[in-house]
Every structure is written in C-alpha cells, then in structure tokens.
Amino acid sequence: MYKMIGKIGAFIYCAAIVVASVLFTIRDANRNLRKEVVLEAGSKIKIQDFFESCPSDAKFMTDVASIDTAEPAVYQLKVFYDEAFEKDVILRIEDHTAPRAVALPKSLYTTWKAPDAADCVGYLYDLSGIAKVEFESEPVFKEGGNFEVPVAVTDVYGNTASVAVPFEVIDDKKAPEIKGVHALEMVIDEEEPDFFDNVTITDDHDEDPVIKIDDSEVDYSKAGTYIVKYEGVDKAGNVQTVETELKIKKPVKTAKKAVKKTTGTVVNSNNAAGQVSGHTGGGSGKKSEAKRLAGKIMAGLWRKNQVETARAIFNWVHSNIYYTHVRGKLSLEAAAYRGFSRRSGDCYVYYACCKMLLDQAGIPNMMVKRYPVTRSNHYWNLVKLNGQWYHCDATVFRHRRTIYFMCTDKQINDQYHHFNGKLYPARAGGSKDFKPTNTPTPKATATNSPTPKPTATTAPKPTATVTAAPTATPTAVPSKPTPTTQAQETPKPTATATPVPATPTATNTPKPTSTPKPTEKPATNTPKPTDPKPEDPKTEE
C-alpha cells in the first residue's frame, strides 16, 4: 500500500512539473509578444516588430500586403508563433514626420506688406497632406537689410516644420526721375499727341518704374490750354510729378459742309461720316496710329522664337501700362492706342495692346471673355504657341502680381478667369469644355495618438502618393485617435487587415512669439524686388 501511495505521489509530482513547464512557456510566449505596435507612415510592416525576440516560425495570419502604410490608420492583425499560438495584435500607422518644404527667397521694399506665408515656401511634401502654412510671427519691416523669417508648415496630424525664408528688404525713399517732358499740341477731333514721345523715366532701384498721365483737367472737345501731369511711380511708392501744357486748337475750316440729298448724311471735309472723335472712338486714323506705335514698341521685343517673343510682349504690357478704369466703350484700335500713348487703361486695354503686338509678331491669338459675367467683364488673350492654345493675361491685378503666361485651364482657374470653354478651340492639356471649380479648403488639423515612439522609422520617398484608406472590415477595439471611420463584421484569421474605427481630434498649433532679426552682414549688391506689394500704385482689376 505504501508503494502504491509512493507511485501516485511521484505521478502527481511529474504532472505538476509538466503543467508548470507549460504555464511558464505560455507566460514567456505572452511576455515576448507585443500586443500593440506603432509604425511610422510610409514604413514597411515587419513581423519582427511584434516580438521582443522573434520566433523563427512567427508569421502573419492576416494578409498585410493589402495595407497601405502611407495612410495613417489602425488595424487588428493575427499572428502565429511558437508552433501553437495564434494571437490578435494591434497595428497603428501614424504620421510623426514633419512636412518638407523649400524656402523661396523674397525681395521687397519697406513700404510693402509682407507676402502671404504660403508664397514664401515651395515644393511642399507630406504623406498626410499640408493643413496650414503660416508665419511663426507676422513680419514687419521698418528698415532695410537681410532677414530670416521663420515659416511654420504643419500637416494634418500637427507635425510642424520651421523653414527659414531669406528676406532682402530695400529702404527706398528716392522718387524716380522723369526726363523729356515737353509742351504738347493737338487739334479738336484729331488724334491725341503721343504723350510718351521722347519721355524717359529712371529709378535707382526699380528697373521698370511707371509713368501715369493725369489729364483729368483736359476737355478734349474745347479749344484752350490745359495742364497735363506726368506722375512717375516706382515700386516702393515714391512719386515724382512733372507738369506740362497741352494746347488744343480749333480745326481749320477748309471747305463748306455739303448735304447728300439721297441719304441726308452730313459730310464734313475734316471728319468722315460716322467717324467718332479721337478721344473715344476708333476711326481709321486711330487704327493707323495704334499700328504705328505698336510697330515702334515691337522693334525692341523680338526674340529668337515665338514663345520668347510672346513672353517679352506680355512682360512689356504688364510692366508699362498703369491700371485705371476707362469710361465708355473703346474699339480695339482705340483701346490699343490709349495703352500705347497714355500707358493706362483697363483689362480691355491690356488685351488690345497684347493683341496688336502679337499681330505684329505674326503670332495667332484671340480674345477670351469672362463667363458668366459678374459685376464687370474681364478680357484676356488666347495665344497659339508651339502648336497649342494657351491663356495669357498681362492685366495688373491688385492682389496678384503674376503674369498669366502659357497657362492651361487648370492653371488659370480663379475668380477672374471663368469662361465658357465650348466657345474656343481646345487648349493645351486637352481641354475642350471647361467648368470652373471652387478652390479646396485645407483639412482640419488632427493629432496622433499619444504613443511614445514608433517602432520603425523608414522615411517616406519623395515620389510617394497619398492613396485611399484600406476598405477592409474594422473591429470595435478601443483605440487612440486615428483618422479612420467605417464599421463592418470582424474577419476570419485569414482575412485581410482590419482597420479599427477612430476619429482625429483638432488642435491649434501655438505661434511662437519670436520676431525676425537682421543678419550680421547685409548684402552689398541689392537685387531688384520680384513681388510688388498688393497696394503697388500701378495695379488694379
């Protein structure tokens, strides 16, 4: 009997050892497994990341090949290891990498407002998308010098990169110099004089200062002597005014009026029937004068090919014509003559001047008119270059100093350039019809879950693109905020990866309070400003 008890005791002892060994194995297997892993967006999913010491037979039971790691999300996966264990684990794909951007150096005057922060950086890249671009502190320049202005670029998960943008600020207080202004004469109902004949303007900083003609005191229908003012304006807003006299004479009567009995039309030997006065009309004299001035200007704009010639034309019109509203309707010739002789006018004058110069250069072009018409019309040129039609607009806009040159429909799509594409030939880029679209608004800023560190940090490649989130089935697992939604049934172990529902939370990134400081050594050769302030006195539309 004692022997039987001994055998039972030995069996129980051995069984206890086996059970304990199994329990310790299970405990060690669980300790070795990482139940939740955070992966940096754009990185590769590796089975080794889910173990402290990865077993040789460890593998995913879930198809992870379908997971797009460029898209932050949460997934429930199943892993197999140690020849016996199948466990559920959580994979969090999060974006902890700040955006990338390149500084775009700026040059401006102390009298200008700073450009928008978004215009100071370029080549933006982020897997999750850019949410906002802003100055860390709004720059204000009261003196000239070289500055570095920090611009904060933030993605939708709150990651921020600070980009130092070089600013060269010019303190220009000297007005441009006008030379060659002389007394003018004209006869009522004849062509106006060329206000710019032998008149030049120079400036110490601005390569393209503008002369504005103020003839508001002139009555072109009455003989007399009037004061005409030449206002020279540079990009810093400095103005020089020079006055001269304009003497308007009565026409000399050389013949009596005769009446045609057949039609009753009054014919004046000095003014053909139906011709409008030189101030507002577009008679044959106006046409010939406009062509003469266009030829004179075009002589300095020829380049080695049509594209470069067209660019020179639009540069000249944009830089030399001052925007002002024009009363009444002008013919094409009258509008071009006004632009060439007075160097001022509205969008139709800009269009007409470009057209007449393009015609002189033999470059095909046509007019585009805004559609639908809002509070006012807008006109620009459609130009055929390199065998394709492009939008070109030399008009000076108040809030955008860009010359629209060789633009596709998509590139020129803004509030000023809506049009009916069916009325024009197919444009570059394959456009036939065209419907304007609204400018997209940035997404709200979101935050990552407060996981301390991702387990893998492979940097995203510059050519990577953001794709749609996986359409696999989510499981209701409590999780930290992540940018996925949708809920369906839980998959079997061999199904594709399962995104877990969660929503991002919006946060506001605080602005640093630092202000730009001048660098130690200002540049000795000051480059010319490239982007005039919105209030530049030669703008508008």
SS3 string of 134-147? EECCCCCCCCCEEE
Question: For position 30, what pLDDT does the model report?
Answer: 74
In a domain, 340, yes or no: yes
For residues 335 and 398, state if they share a domain: yes
Question: For position 511, what pLDDT does the model report?
Answer: 39
Per the listing, tokens 């199948």 go with 86
Question: For position 169, what pLDDT does the model report?
Answer: 96
- Which helix (H) or strand (E) segment holds residue 133: the answer is strand 130-135
498/434 Cα distance (integer angstroms):
41
For residues 373 and 287, state if they share a domain: yes
Radius of gyration (Cα) for the chain, nearest Å? 37
Question: For position 426, what pLDDT does the model report?
Answer: 92
Mention every residue, 6+ apart, whose C-beta is less than 8 A from residue 160.
Answer: 98, 99, 152, 153, 154, 509
For residues 264 and 360, state if they share a domain: no
Mean pLDDT of 122-144: 91
Residue 393, beta-bridge partner list = 404
In a domain, 251, yes or no: yes
Give the closest residue to 312 by CA, choosing from 197, 304, 234.
304
Find the length of the chain.
541
419/422 Cα distance (integer angstroms):
9
pLDDT beyond 50 at 478: no
| Residues 10 and 18 sit within 8 Å (Cβ to Cβ) | no
pTM for the structure as a whole: 0.50
Label residue 37 by pLDDT band (50, 70, 90).
Answer: very high
pLDDT beyond 50 at 259: no
Residue 431, beta-bridge partner list = 427
For residues 370 and 467, state if they share a domain: no
Q: What is the DSSP letter of 35?
A: S
103/118 Cα distance (integer angstroms):
10
User: Can you give the CATH number for the domain in which 316 is found?
Assistant: 3.10.620
For residues 258 and 330, state if they share a domain: no
More confident: 96 or 508: 96
Residue 152, SS3 per DSSP:
strand
For residues 524 and 490, state if they share a domain: no
Label residue 217 by pLDDT band (50, 70, 90).
Answer: confident
Label residue 276 by pLDDT band (50, 70, 90).
Answer: very low
89 vs 36, 79, 100, 488, 500, CA distance in Å?
6, 7, 32, 18, 12
Give the closest residue to 168 by CA, choosing from 205, 133, 136, 134.
205
Q: Give residue-wise pLDDT tens across range 437-453.
A: 544 444 444 444 443 33
Q: What is the DSSP letter of 328?
A: S
Question: For position 5, what pLDDT does the model report?
Answer: 67
Question: For position 83, what pLDDT does the model report?
Answer: 87
In a domain, 446, yes or no: no
Q: Which two tokens stand for residue 161?
A: 């990169």
Label residue 299 by pLDDT band (50, 70, 90).
Answer: very high
Written as one string, the DSSP assignment of 353-385 is: HHHHHHHHHT--EEEEE-SS--SS--EEEEEEE
Label residue 382 by pLDDT band (50, 70, 90).
Answer: very high
Question: For position 476, what pLDDT does the model report?
Answer: 35
| Structural domain count of the chain | 3
Looking at 388, 409, 437, which one is the last position of a domain?
A: 437
For residues 431 and 287, state if they share a domain: yes
In a domain, 10, yes or no: no
At residue 349, φ and ψ (nearest 5 deg) are -65, -40
In a domain, 504, yes or no: no
Looking at 437, 467, 490, which one is the last position of a domain?
A: 437
| Residues 396 and 539 sit within 8 Å (Cβ to Cβ) | yes
In a domain, 527, yes or no: yes
In a domain, 15, yes or no: no
Q: Give residue-wise pLDDT tens across range 318-353.
A: 988 988 888 788 899 999 999 998 888 999 999 999
58/50 Cα distance (integer angstroms):
9
For residues 515 and 484, state if they share a domain: no
Question: For position 284, what pLDDT does the model report?
Answer: 54
Give the closest residue to 243 by CA, choosing from 203, 220, 216.
216
Q: Which of 168-182, 253-267, 421-435 has the highest mean pLDDT?
A: 168-182
For residues 297 and 369, state if they share a domain: yes
For residues 82 and 215, state if they share a domain: no
More confident: 272 or 253: 253
pLDDT beyond 90 at 271: no
In a domain, 26, yes or no: no
Determine the structural domain holding residue 43 and report its residue range: 33-95+451-498
Which stretch of 14-23, 349-358, 474-483, 499-508 has the lowest confidence by average pLDDT? 474-483
Mean pLDDT of 164-192: 91
pLDDT beyond 60 at 147: yes
User: Can you give the CATH number for the domain in which 169 is found?
Assistant: 2.60.40.10
For residues 116 and 264, state if they share a domain: yes
Mean pLDDT of 414-428: 89
Label residue 195 by pLDDT band (50, 70, 90).
Answer: confident
In 374-485, beta strands by DSSP E:
379-385, 388-393, 404-407
For residues 463 and 515, state if they share a domain: no
Q: What is the DSSP letter of 428?
A: T
Burial call 78-116: b when 16+ CB within 10 Å, e when fewer? bbbbeeebeebbbbbbbbbbbbbbebbebbbbbbbebbe
| Residues 391 and 427 sit within 8 Å (Cβ to Cβ) | yes
Question: For position 212, what pLDDT does the model report?
Answer: 82
| Residues 209 and 199 sit within 8 Å (Cβ to Cβ) | no
Residue percentage of the chain with pLDDT more than 90: 46
From first CA to last CA, the distance across the chain in angstroms is 114
Question: For position 15, what pLDDT does the model report?
Answer: 64
| Residues 532 and 540 sit within 8 Å (Cβ to Cβ) | no
Check the CA dihedral 519-525-530-532 and report its sign: positive
